[in-house]
Structure 1
């Protein structure tokens, strides 16, 4: 259900932000995502007859998270399932 209850609304303002959330919030503002996407986009796979590729913005952020947190491919996949 998408509708917030009164307790959800009250709790969301009091919840403490984790270090990871703070770091990712800062990186969202510091990293020039749109510029990087424009740079990579010409070489990024296009949709064809096969499986649809993930959006470039998503894959770029996953790659950066792997680098920042030293995650292997399987560890990054597990981290994404936990979100």
Structure 2
């Protein structure tokens, strides 16, 4: 998922088979207008891809904090801060699983499940933005 960290709205979705690593679909998740890219350690070596697809974006992926058995506490604290931002983004995934029941795939085949996921993400965006949308209507 590509999720805006401020609004928590989903802007990009990519579905892959289970045997494909998350980092291989990173170019599909970036739209080029990002200013920051947050990711876990799966996206650690993707600095060149981020620079190519989103030239203005800064890379805030988690780094290794242990080198040859020695723990770097400064890097560990930075990773904790990054994880707090990523936890806010995980809210969108929680809405999809909890509200719309997307815990397991329903159909056989990647395309059918991708279409179901796209519709669910659109509905989740409406669900998460409902208060802002209703406030605009009342004003």
TM-score by length of 1: 0.29
Of structures 1 and 2, the one scoring higher in RCO (CA 8 A, sep 6+) is 2
- Is the helix fraction higher in 1 or 2? 1
